Amino acid sequence: MRKLLVYLKDYKKETVLAPLFKMLEATFELFVPLVMAAIIDQGIGSGNVSYVLRMGGVLILLGIIGLVCSITAQYFAARAAVGFSTKLKHALFAHIQGLSFTEIDTLGTATMITRMTSDVNQVQNGVNMVLRLFLRSPFIVFGAMIMAFTIDVKAAFIFVVTIPVLSVVVFGIMMWTMPLYKKVQAGLDSVLGATRENLTGARVIRAFNKEQEEIESFEKKNNTLAHMQLFVGKISALTNPVTYIIINVATVVLLYTGAVRVDEGTITQGQVVALVNYMSQILVELVKLANLIITITKAWACANRIQSVFEIKSSMAWEQKLPGTHLACQNTDADKAGKDEADQINFDHVHLAYAGAGAESLTDIDFRVKKGQTVGIIGGTGSGKSSLVNMIPRFYDATRGHVVIKGKDVREYSMEELRQMIGVVPQKAVLFQGTIRENMQWGKNDATDLEIWQAIETAQAREFVEQKEGKLDAVIAQTGRNLSGGQRQRLTIARALVGKPEILILDDSASALDYATDAALRQAIRNMDGSPTVFIVSQRASSIQYADQIIVLDDGEMADIGTHEELLERCEVYQEIYYSQYPKT
């Protein structure tokens, strides 16, 4: 939590003024019982109506000043808390964006969403409440005790006993509930994850008639969360009744002691009323303090969860030069090939194992690609096709071996330099809410309409885009749900083509296209200016059979590499895939 307070540094004025005005409000509040005592003893006791009216005016003035101080304090506290949470969300989002896919896969989407929303809101409430009450409530409690000593020392000792007992109760409950609130937030992660899964996979769930099972699974997780919340809520709820019991017992003792002292003539009736008022103030403030402690407990638990995300460092270090010995470790042939300008991409005995995986996903991948070549990648489900192409833009780093582009290890490039060379069309076609033009400009920020239309035409999307109302200004719904699967895929391909990349990766991105459109797309890409190096990942043999090289993967290993004709002659894995789609005649 303390590390997150750095985001309050731009609100130093507010963090000082908010508690300061609350202290002023509390100071005026402490004078109220003394004014009441004076009204009773000197005004009502002696029948002095003018004195009562005059002191009544003082009470009204104290109330108005207190109200102004309170509103001012609320304003500064809210400004600081909202500003703090805004900066925290920006920093957290930027940090998450800086993590590699390995860390994002480990954290999970549901957890990150919870920490960006619910957890940050809890911390915001905590900051707001601390600025308003953290100094005010203790000040009132101890101030009331000190004021009680100015009235009568013997009666004030009741305050001395009561306050520590109340502190033990309040802080004891706080220490008990703090770890429980952490578990509640973890349970919220689980429920959010289940909700997100069900919403994302709604069609699949309905297709397999699994609605009832998912409802039962959700109810189980939701009930677990509800039981945790009820349990910690019951413990927290003990604070108010226990506090009231202690205060009321102390008030009874105070009234009895005060009555005896009045009978002895030591103190006046007005002073007894003042002492009771101070005890009531302590009661109100300790109830507030108890609620504040609960809020702080929740905020502290959430802040620790947020901090744990900040403490996760990306496993990828950009712009870090590798020691010369690393490249020297490559075999002589690979080293020469990697530095040969004709070889644009070189996979030098690359191995890849995902974090937490028991086995390697890719083993000893070794091949070279010349500039302008088209490379097809084919294999069974789970053979590592996407894993292979994801290493080119450095979404994942090789655990062993080197991925070399233009004679330079990908780990030696800056992120901007590497990603500007590469256009990626992922397996899942994702478009963002906005216009077609705005989506296309993801590929190039300053792309002109001419460049966008050229990319759209190459991606075989011109026909349906021209039919849209507004054309490039046609609105695309979130995730592109107002488009068909084929339209989404063609627009994502166009988005990658706008920047005219040197290397284009099509990761099974034409699966929703018919054979004719797929063939026209491949021909248009081949005829593009600049002759980009193209990687086509596909389950269709027809999509890759005219590639310059075809890499056949089988369970993370290269079964073979060659042209379509060569593989049909010698590669059993390729033969099996090809003849399953085109039976022998």
Give per-residue pLDDT as tens, 283-303: 778 777 777 877 887 788 888
Domain span holding position 298: 2-310
Helix (H, G, I), strand (E, B) or coil at 344: strand
Question: What pLDDT sits at residue 76?
Answer: 93
Residue 316 lies in a domain: no
Whether residue 505 is found in the same domain as residue 558: yes
Average of per-residue pLDDT across 258-286:
81
Report the CATH number that the domain containing residue 516 is assigned in CATH.
3.40.50.300
Question: What pLDDT sits at residue 329?
Answer: 36
CA distance 348 to 43: 97
Residue 318 lies in a domain: no
Instruction: Quote the number of domains for the chain.
Output: 2
Which tokens belong to 491? 């627009």
Whether residue 80 is found in the same domain as residue 229: yes
Is the pLDDT confidence value at 327 over 50? no
Q: Which of 288, 310, 332 is at the close of a domain?
A: 310
Is the pLDDT confidence value at 539 over 60? yes
CA distance 187 to 177: 15
Question: What pLDDT sits at residue 570?
Answer: 87
Which tokens belong to 570? 């010698």
Residue 315 lies in a domain: no
Whether residue 330 is found in the same domain as residue 304: no
As a whole number, the mean pLDDT across the chain is 83
Residue 71's pLDDT band, with cuts at 50, 70 and 90, is very high
Neighbours of 334 (CB within 10 A): 21
Query: Please, which residues have CB within 8 angstroms of residue 307's CB and are 6 or more apart in sequence?
Result: 1, 3, 4
Count of alpha carbons within 13 angstroms of residue 239, beta-carbon side = 28
Question: What pLDDT sits at residue 335?
Answer: 46
CA distance 126 to 298: 8
Whether residue 363 is found in the same domain as residue 215: no
Residue 467 lies in a domain: yes
Measured in whole angstroms, the distance separating CA 554 from the mean position of its chain's CA atoms is 37
Handedness of CA 546, 547, 548, 553 (dihedral sign): negative
Average of per-residue pLDDT across 464-470:
86
Is the pLDDT confidence value at 328 over 60? no
Question: What pLDDT sits at residue 343?
Answer: 62
Residue 334's pLDDT band, with cuts at 50, 70 and 90, is very low
Is the pLDDT confidence value at 317 over 80? no
Whether residue 352 is found in the same domain as residue 301: no
Of 560 and 103, the one with more pLDDT:
560
Question: What pLDDT sits at residue 323?
Answer: 46
Residue 319 lies in a domain: no
Average of per-residue pLDDT across 250-256:
84
Whether residue 412 is found in the same domain as residue 369: yes
Helix (H, G, I), strand (E, B) or coil at 362: strand
DSSP 366-389: EEEEETT-EEEEEESTTSSHHHHH
- For residue 434, the 8-state DSSP code is E
Which tokens belong to 551? 């890499």
Report the CATH number that the domain containing residue 232 is assigned in CATH.
1.20.1560.10
Residue 464 lies in a domain: yes
Is the pLDDT confidence value at 355 over 80? no
Place of tokens 């894993």: 387
Whether residue 515 is found in the same domain as residue 401: yes
CA distance 430 to 250: 66
* Contact indicator for 426, 395 with CB cutoff of 8 Å: no
Which tokens belong to 225? 């969360």
Whether residue 299 is found in the same domain as residue 349: no
Whether residue 251 is found in the same domain as residue 330: no
Residue 72's pLDDT band, with cuts at 50, 70 and 90, is very high
Question: What pLDDT sits at residue 342?
Answer: 53
Percent of the chain with pLDDT strictly greater than 70: 95
Of 558, 115, 553, 100, nearest to 355 by C-alpha is 100
Is the pLDDT confidence value at 477 over 80? yes
Average of per-residue pLDDT across 554-563:
88
Is the pLDDT confidence value at 331 over 50? no
Query: Please, which residues have CB within 8 angstroms of residue 1's CB and are 6 or more apart in sequence?
Result: 123, 299, 300, 303, 304, 307
Of 438 and 329, the one with more pLDDT:
438
Question: What pLDDT sits at residue 332?
Answer: 38
Which tokens belong to 122? 């809890």
Length in residues, the chain: 585
Query: Exposed (0-12), middle (13-18) or buried (19+): which is 401, by Cβ within 10 Å?
Result: buried
CA distance 294 to 426: 46
Q: Give me the sheet containing 408-409, strands edge to edge.
A: 408-409, 400-405, 343-352, 362-370, 557-562, 549-554, 374-379, 533-537, 503-507, 422-425
Place of tokens 């310059």: 548
Average of per-residue pLDDT across 139-158:
82
Whether residue 297 is found in the same domain as residue 353: no
DSSP 123-185: HHHHHHHIIIIITHHHHHHHHHHHHHHHH-HHHHHHHHHHHHHHHHHHHHHHHHHHHHHHHHH
Whether residue 302 is found in the same domain as residue 403: no
Measured in whole angstroms, the distance separating CA 139 from the mean position of its chain's CA atoms is 37
Average of per-residue pLDDT across 253-262:
83
Residue 489's pLDDT band, with cuts at 50, 70 and 90, is confident
Residue 531 lies in a domain: yes
Whether residue 102 is found in the same domain as residue 77: yes
Output the pTM of the full model.
Answer: 0.68
Q: Which of 287, 310, 333 is at the close of a domain?
A: 310
Question: What pLDDT sits at residue 1?
Answer: 63
Q: Which of 310, 344, 379 is at the close of a domain?
A: 310
Query: If residue 551 lies in a helix (H) or strand (E), which one and from where to where?
Result: strand 549-554
Residue 317 lies in a domain: no
Question: What pLDDT sits at residue 79?
Answer: 92
